[in-house]
Structures are given as structure tokens and as C-alpha cells.
């Protein structure tokens, strides 16, 4: 057997991992496609079975590969990335990723908000709330369930019209001339069950990312309370962090004030 094509002293498993990663990124291996077997990779790259398994396991942990016992190892579907820091529309995010968005309306109706929701949305009196529950698709695959609650006073005839391009935010901006100024959002891991799990094709139950968002207009009034369930294998969040220079300045200021 000839020697491995990989250079030393970088560990062989890491070099094989990078070689496979590049083939995924360069579309040599396509989403949903099986990669060569462990034996084929051993023979192609002249490495041990242990090296192959470690490289593959690392790519599985990174979310790039999926192992199906008894069937093989497959390239995972690319995740949609929501960029934290911007009030995003799921339709826009799906299109930006080169995918085709789709929507199924599960529920659209006016409700009397419970006390907790009324307080969150700062709704006074007996004003109703419009509830819109949607199943969102990317390339015909279910990726998320959105349940939006909107102050009826701000969108009085919303239930009588079609959403522009099936986008709620685009409709609020172009139909109602509302400016979505800012949002507060909390993201956490959770479990989904029942009909919602079936909508997302997760069987009886499955893991999801749960996002709870309050969106405000420029006058600080709440336009929307959103509860979203994202398939955690098809969605991720991206956060851009600033450098540490500001943090060091803050620490210096605190130290000058005697705060340790």
C-alpha cells in the first residue's frame, strides 16, 4: 500500500475531514447524496479505518453529514441561517439562500387575547388580536411554524386580504405603511409535539428552536408577538460579535470607579 497523500505533521483525520468538507462545499457531494463507504475512503486516501471514522464523526457533529445506520452516510441539507441583529422576514432569508419559499396557512382568525398576551402587547380595553399561524417551506420541505399575534387596531382588515408574496412583514410595510423599528427576541431549545410536530414532519415529537419575538413600531407600540418553532436540523442563528476593545474600556472605567 502506498503512503497517504496527506502531508505531515497535521493529523490524518483532520486532513481527511477537510478534504470531505471541501467536497461538500464545492458540491462534489450534493445534499441528500451518500458519500463513499468507509472502506472506499480508506482505499482512496490510504488511511486507517479509525482515521476515516473520526473524520466522519466530526463532520456529523458539525451538521454536515448524517449517519443512517444500515444505509450509509449522507450529506445533510444546508441550514437556513437567521442573522441576529436584523428584523428579518423568513421569506427573504429563504430566497437569499437560493431556495423556493412556500406557505401553508394553518389558522387565521380574530381572538380575544388572554391577559398575559394583552399585557405583552400593551393592548388596552377589549381590542381583538389577529392570529395567523403558518407553516413555512423551503424547497417544498417544512422548516418552521410561525404563530403571529397582531393588534387589530393597527391592521383592521388583515384577515380580508392576501399577504403580499405570502410575507407578513412585506404586507405590514407596503399595505399598511408601518415601519418595523426594532424587536426583542428570545431563542431557546425545546421539544415540539402533537399536530405541530407532524406539520414539521418530526413524527410524534422532535427537537426545535423556539423563538419568541415582540416587534415594535417607531412609536414603541407593539405590532406583533411571534412564537416560532424551527426545525433545529434545518435552521441556525448567526450572531456578529464586536471586538474586545470596548469591553476593555468598560473594565478600565469600572476599575477607576472602584468596581472590581
Please indicate, yes or no, whether residues 48 and 93 belong to a single structural domain of this protein: no
Please indicate, yes or no, whether residues 71 and 136 belong to a single structural domain of this protein: no
Please indicate, yes or no, whether residues 57 and 143 belong to a single structural domain of this protein: no
CATH number of the domain where residue 66 is located: 1.10.10.10
Whether residue 248 lies inside any domain: the answer is no
Query: How many domains are there within the chain?
Result: 2
For the residues 55-76, what does the mean pLDDT come to?
86
Please indicate, yes or no, whether residues 22 and 138 belong to a single structural domain of this protein: no
Question: Using 50, 70 and 90 to split pLDDT, how confident is the model at 260?
Answer: very low
Please indicate, yes or no, whether residues 194 and 176 belong to a single structural domain of this protein: yes
Residues 11-53: tens digit of each pLDDT: 889 999 999 989 988 889 988 899 999 999 999 999 999 999 9
Q: How far is CA 157 from CA 8, 46, 145, 162, 205, in A?
A: 68, 67, 23, 10, 36
Higher pLDDT, 250 or 115: 115
For the residues 237-244, what does the mean pLDDT come to?
66
Please indicate, yes or no, whether residues 39 and 158 belong to a single structural domain of this protein: no
Please choose, from the candidates 47, 143, 53, the residue with its C-alpha nearest in 3D space to the C-alpha of residue 94: 143
Structural domain span for residue 113: 80-238
Whether residue 124 lies inside any domain: the answer is yes
Residues 6+ apart with CB under 8 A from 180: 87, 169, 172, 173, 215, 216, 217, 223
Please indicate, yes or no, whether residues 52 and 124 belong to a single structural domain of this protein: no
CATH number of the domain where residue 229 is located: 3.40.1410.10
Whether residue 2 lies inside any domain: the answer is no
What's the pLDDT score for residue 178? 94
Please indicate, yes or no, whether residues 198 and 124 belong to a single structural domain of this protein: yes
Please indicate, yes or no, whether residues 47 and 85 belong to a single structural domain of this protein: no
Q: What is the dihedral of CA 163, 93, 211, 120, to 10 degrees?
A: -40
Please indicate, yes or no, whether residues 126 and 176 belong to a single structural domain of this protein: yes
Q: How far apart are CA 96 and CA 98, in angstroms?
A: 5
Please indicate, yes or no, whether residues 179 and 58 belong to a single structural domain of this protein: no
Please indicate, yes or no, whether residues 130 and 67 belong to a single structural domain of this protein: no
Residues 90-110: tens digit of each pLDDT: 777 777 666 788 999 999 999
Q: How far apart are CA 130 and CA 135, in angstroms?
A: 17
What's the pLDDT score for residue 127? 83
Amino acid at each position: 500500500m502506498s503512503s497517504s497523500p496527506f502531508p505531515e505533521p497535521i493529523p490524518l483525520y483532520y486532513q481527511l475531514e477537510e478534504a470531505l468538507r471541501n467536497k461538500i462545499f464545492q458540491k462534489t457531494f450534493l445534499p441528500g447524496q451518500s458519500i463513499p463507504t468507509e472502506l472506499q475512503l480508506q482505499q482512496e486516501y490510504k488511511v486507517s479505518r479509525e482515521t476515516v471514522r473520526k473524520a466522519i464523526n466530526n463532520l456529523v457533529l458539525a451538521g454536515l453529514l448524517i449517519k443512517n445506520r444500515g444505509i450509509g452516510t449522507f450529506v445533510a441539507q444546508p441550514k437556513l441561517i437567521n442573522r441576529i441583529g436584523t428584523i428579518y422576514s423568513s421569506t427573504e432569508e429563504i430566497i437569499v439562500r437560493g431556495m423556493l419559499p412556500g406557505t401553508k396557512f394553518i389558522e387565521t382568525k380574530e381572538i380575544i387575547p388572554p391577559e398575559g398576551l394583552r399585557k405583552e402587547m400593551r393592548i388596552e380595553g377589549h381590542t381583538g388580536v389577529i392570529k395567523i399561524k403558518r407553516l413555512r417551506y423551503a424547497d417544498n420541505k417544512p422548516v418552521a411554524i410561525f404563530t403571529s399575534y397582531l393588534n387589530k387596531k393597527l391592521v383592521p382588515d388583515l384577515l380580508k386580504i392576501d399577504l403580499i408574496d405570502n410575507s407578513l412583514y412585506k404586507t405590514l410595510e407596503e399595505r399598511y405603511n408601518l415601519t418595523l423599528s426594532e424587536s426583542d427576541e428570545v431563542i431557546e431549545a425545546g421539544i415540539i409535539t402533537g399536530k405541530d410536530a407532524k406539520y414539521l414532519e418530526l413524527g410524534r415529537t422532535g427537537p426545535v428552536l423556539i423563538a419568541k419575538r415582540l416587534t415594535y413600531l417607531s412609536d414603541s407600540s407593539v405590532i406583533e408577538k411571534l412564537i416560532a418553532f424551527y426545525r433545529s436540523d434545518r435552521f441556525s442563528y448567526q450572531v456578529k460579535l464586536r471586538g474586545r476593545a470596548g469591553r476593555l474600556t468598560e473594565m478600565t472605567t469600572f476599575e477607576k470607579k472602584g468596581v472590581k
